[in-house]
Chains A and B, each alone.
Chain A
Amino acid sequence: MIVLQKGVRKLWELILINGLIIGGQYALLALGFSLILGVARVLNLAHPAFYMLSAFTIYTFSQVLDFNLTVTYILSLVFMIGLGVVIYQVILAPVRAQTSTVLILGLVLGIAAQELMLIFYGGQFRSLTRLASGTMQLGDAVISNQHILALSAVMLSLLGVWFLLFKSRFGIPIRAVAQDREVANLMGIPESRIAILTMAVSVALAVIAAAMVAPIGVIDPLMWLHPLVIVLTAVILGGLGSIKGSIMAAFILAFVEVSLVFLAPGAAFLRGAVSMFVMLTVLMFKPEGLYGVFMEGER
């Protein structure tokens, strides 16, 4: 995912830009993950696999079937949301009460998706078409337009979700169900329909991440594994049920990772270990995560 730019560039600029973009990607995934966790209490380990699947869907529509980009994005969005809702409704929702079964099902679904993509596309690296070409002068730094686009798309969608959840009528039932499912149900909120809606939003976030950030790097069927670890870490580090927390944590982890890669390139293989170490340290001093609250009745 991390891309070294051509030409001479100050180190901190590289760290800043890459950290923001990778952090944004992790934040989008962590946000979707924590939404479905908070609303439906489903620890959907297949979430990063949706990101991988969306990347491949976009690849199929735009490069194999040769649709133009707008059509590609609309089709992929519809297809992936449909797929996500069907998987949730048919496989995950009926066994929702058994948390450990949900855990395994999510994981195994992710592996199944990975294997399907390996069968259809093979394991080689591919890349999506860049949405924007050329570079842009920003002060004395040169940034490629794709990076700017990715960055703004990520920020816009984070803002959009924030607006959706906290400033619109649409977000009220979602937040209510996240706070207390039973009471929300008693207040006449159709809890299972809200869960489906949340699933759709969370898959849509994965599609956006794939559409905007994936063209910077390469895509392959194994690209969901690293985000899986990071997303889990971010959600825990930020505190379960806290959207602000998981976004913050995603950026923290991304910056830790990127700084390690640029400051000590020889130790780049340690990036997973270092992120984990950061999480462990935080949990030792703040067991509920950065912004977490211990929920009533869930001791």
Chain B
Amino acid sequence: MFAYLARKIWRDFQGEILALPTRTILFAAAVALLLLPLVTDDAYLLRIVATASIFAVYAASWDLLVGFSGQTTLGHSLFFGIAAYTAALLNLRFGLPAFLTIPAGALAAVLAGLLLSLPALRVRGPYFSLASLAMPIILMGLIFSFPGLTGGEMGLSGISRLAGTRTGEYYFLLISMFVLTLLMWKIATSRTALIFHAIREDEIVVRVSGINTTYYKILVFCCSGFFAGMAGSLYAHFLRVVGPSTLDIMMSLQVIIWGIFGGVVTIYGPVVGVFILYPLLEYLRIIPDWRMLIFAGIVVVTLRFMPEGISNKFQDLLERQCPRCKERNIFMRKECRICCTDIGTCSRVG
């Protein structure tokens, strides 16, 4: 029985992960991150990876909204900030523990998603981008207007920790990142996501096909809000300080940089983007004056030569799609691993 299960898992592992080079790389990276605390005791490094995994969830939730359904928001920090503030306030004012405040923060972000979907139903394209930019700025104004409740410019501090030890926190964040991104990936490969794609391509045609686009648009906002909210409340409990910076424009713009750098409409692309760019930006602190400049230069050069994002570029390099069954294969194969069609001569267009 166990031998059978083990063999089945091994076979699935071979077929689903080892067969595709990009998935193998991602898997190896995930294992490496899990083993990291055993190898090194460097608190700074562990802290960077933990923060990056929070931002990875945040960036992937952005991809769910922008990449999949094409609702280009410039105000994604609304979800992050509202969840961080909700978690912080519940924790500080009512003394609720982290396992209650984190879902509560995510719930608040879902409500924010409902709110943000209102302009999305009315205006589209660049108009919506700018309308969404307005939301966090307005919320920030509200936060500054009630400094007694929200701590104003200084923010809230003294939020309770996620776990007792530093390693515990690291594993908590890393595993939540895996679970949440896998969930998002499941959503992104489901039938519902097909409708999100269709809404991005042509909303009117989708509506003509008898699909209630209003429902699906609200749904994608709530989904994305939930995941960004999880990231936001995790962030509040990890940093233990929540300030207006969680609602900052830079927070919204940074997620776009990560997402597009990593490659949109993939879920794992933005995660890769965060894990490359965030540690890079942190380690550039050794030359503080040139830090942002070098960062900007790297992003400009990368996007200039691979405008589709780094993960899509590598996927196109390492894999090619079977013209018949649309399964992906490693670039060395002459025939498709599923249907044995000859793919040696066809192009690498994904």
Can you list, as one digit per residue, whether each of B118-151 has a CB less than 8 Å from chain A (1) or not (0)?
A: 0100110111001101110110111011000000
Q: Nearest chain-A residue to B258 (Cβ)? A: A104
Known: A272-B141, A276-B134, A284-B119. A112 touches B304 (CB 8 A): no
Say whether A108 contacts B138, CB under 8 Å: no
CB interface residues, B 238-268, toward A, < 8 Å: 249, 253, 256-257, 260-261, 264
Q: Which chain A residues border B289 with CB–CB below 8 Å?
A: 118-119
Q: Is the CB of A112 within 8 A of B300?
A: yes
B136-170 with Cβ < 8 A to chain A: 137-138, 140-142, 144-145
Given A115-B292, A272-B141, A283-B119 in contact, is the A98-B297 Cβ separation under 8 Å? no
CB–CB A229/B299 < 8 A: no
Q: Which residues of B contact A225 (CB under 8 A)?
A: 249
Q: How far is the CB of B230 from the nearest CB of chain A, in Å?
A: 24
CB–CB A95/B303 < 8 A:
yes
Tell whether A107 is near chain B: CB-to-CB under 8 Å: yes
Known: A105-B300, A280-B119, A284-B119. A236 touches B127 (CB 8 A): yes
Given the complex, which residues of A lie within 8 Å of B293, measured CB to CB?
A: 112, 115-116, 119
- Hey, which chain B residues are within 8 Å of A236, CB to CB? 126-127, 130-131
Q: Which of A118, A240, A276 has the most CB of B within 10 A?
A: A276
> Does B204 make an interface contact (CB < 8 A)?
yes
Chain B window 54-71, contacts with chain A (Cβ cutoff 8 Å), 1 for yes, 0 for no? 000000000000100000
Interface code A267-299, partner B: CB below 8 Å = 1, 0 otherwise? 101101110110110011001110000000011
A270 partner, pick from B123, B126, B144, beta carbons under 8 A: B144
Q: Please state if A104 and B290 are interface contacts (CB–CB under 8 Å).
A: no
Report how far A7 CA is from B261 CA in the complex, Å. 54
- Do residues B300 and A109 form an inter-chain contact, with CB atoms below 8 A? yes
Q: Is the CB of B123 within 8 A of A287?
A: yes
Q: With the chains together, A114 CA to B66 CA distance in Å?
A: 27
In angstroms, Cα B241 to Cα A21, docked, is 40
Q: Does B316 belong to the interface (CB within 8 Å)?
A: no
Q: Are B253 and A107 in contact (CB under 8 A)?
A: yes
Q: Which residues of A contact B257 (CB under 8 A)?
A: 104, 107-108
**How many A residues, CB 8 Å from partner?**
43
Determine chain A's interface SS by DSSP, over half rule. Answer: helix
Cβ–Cβ < 8 Å partners of B119 in chain A: 280, 283-284
Q: How far is the CB of B32 from chain A (nearest CB, A)?
A: 28
Does the CB pair A112–B260 fall under 8 Å? no
Give the number of chain B interface residues (Cβ < 8 Å): 42
Cβ-based interface call for B340 (8 A): no
| Residues of A with C-beta under 8 A to B291 | 115
- CA–CA, A232 and B308, complex, Å: 25
CB-based contact A119/B300 at 8 Å: no
Q: Is B117 an interface residue (CB 8 A)?
A: no
Known interface pairs A104-B260, A273-B141. Does A280 touch B300 (Cβ–Cβ under 8 Å)?
no
Q: Is B279 among interface residues, defined by CB-CB distance under 8 A?
A: no
Q: Does B296 count as interface, using CB distance less than 8 angstroms?
A: yes
For residue B163, give the distance in angstroms from its CB to the closest CB of chain A. Answer: 35
Distance (whole angstroms) from the CB of A246 to the closest CB of chain B: 12
Cβ contact within 8 Å between B303 and A115? no
CB distance from B217 to the nearest CB of A (A): 15
Within 8 A of B (CB), among A179-238: 225, 229, 232-233, 236
Determine whether A152 belongs to the interface, using a CB cutoff of 8 Å to chain B: no
In angstroms, how far is the closest chain A Cβ from the Cβ of B192? Answer: 23
Closest to A225 in B: B249
Nearest B residue (CB) for A280 = B134
Contact with B along A104-126 (1 / 0, CB 8 A): 11011101101110110000000
In the complex, the 3 A-B pairs of residues with the closest C-beta atoms, listed nearest first: A273-B141, A276-B134, A112-B296
18 pairs of residues in contact across A and B, judged by CB atoms under 8 Å: A101-B303, A103-B256, A103-B260, A107-B257, A108-B299, A108-B303, A112-B297, A114-B292, A115-B293, A229-B133, A270-B145, A273-B137, A273-B138, A280-B119, A280-B131, A283-B122, A283-B127, A287-B123
